[in-house]
Structures are given as structure tokens and as C-alpha cells.
Amino acid sequence: MYSLRNRVALITGGSRGLGALVAQKYAAEGCNVAINYASSKDAAEKLAAELQESYKVKAITIQGDAGVQNDCVNAVKTTIDQLGGLDIIVSNAVSRYYPGP
């Protein structure tokens, strides 16, 4: 079976709800996680601390709006720089941008 141990996952919208659950499940399998959030800094930092304590993985937080290209580029770059790579991206965040017809 494929192991997630020491892999790196970036989860957009990862500080609350389904995104937080996904981050927890990846961490439980030994995956290091980058938790992207738009405005829920306290929730993201609390979750990262809990994952580090409970699962002994690396967990970082990255502020940015997944609907903004530069923020997405920054999230990927920060993940690679701080966690040493990027194996998995979970695009969970809801974008507030809706293009017209």
C-alpha cells in the first residue's frame, strides 16, 4: 500500500470544516501538512499545533486567498521552502470570484 509518511500536502481552506478534517487525516498517516487559510489565522495556528503534537508531523500555516493567483504561487513556494517539497494539493477553498459568461 502507498505510504503518506513524510510526504507533503498543501490543503487550501484547511483551517476549518472539511479542510481541517482532511489535514488531520493526512497528518494521522504521517504526512506533513501546509494549512492555507484566507482569514481564520487563529483556527489554522491551533490546528497546526494540534497536528504537530498529536501526530509528530510538521505543520505550517500560510495565509492567502485561493482565488488570487499570486497567493496560490506563494502557498506552493512557501510549502516547498518550509517543508522540503510538495506531493499533494487538496483544493478545498471556496473562491469568491465568479467569472461572467
Q: What is the CATH number of the domain that holds 31?
A: 3.40.50.720
Q: pLDDT at residue 18 above 80?
A: yes
Q: How confident is the model at residue 62 (pLDDT cuts 50, 70, 90)?
A: very high
Please give the torsion angle defined by the CA atoms of residues 51, 33, 3 and 55, in that order, rounded to the nearest 10 degrees: -10
With respect to residue 64, please indicate whether it lies within any of the assigned structural domains: yes
Q: How many distinct structural domains can be found in the chain?
A: 1
Instruction: Tell me the pLDDT tens digit for each residue of 82-101.
Output: 999 999 999 998 766 556 66
With respect to residue 51, please indicate whether it lies within any of the assigned structural domains: yes
- Give me the residue label for grid cell 477553498: 93
- For residue 90, CA distances in Å to 22, 28, 53, 100, 101 come to 8, 16, 22, 26, 27
> For the whole model, what pTM was predicted?
0.90
Domain range spanning residue 82?
8-91
Instruction: Tell me the pLDDT tens digit for each residue of 29-53.
Output: 999 999 999 999 999 999 999 999 9
CA nearest neighbour of 20 among 59, 68, 77: 59
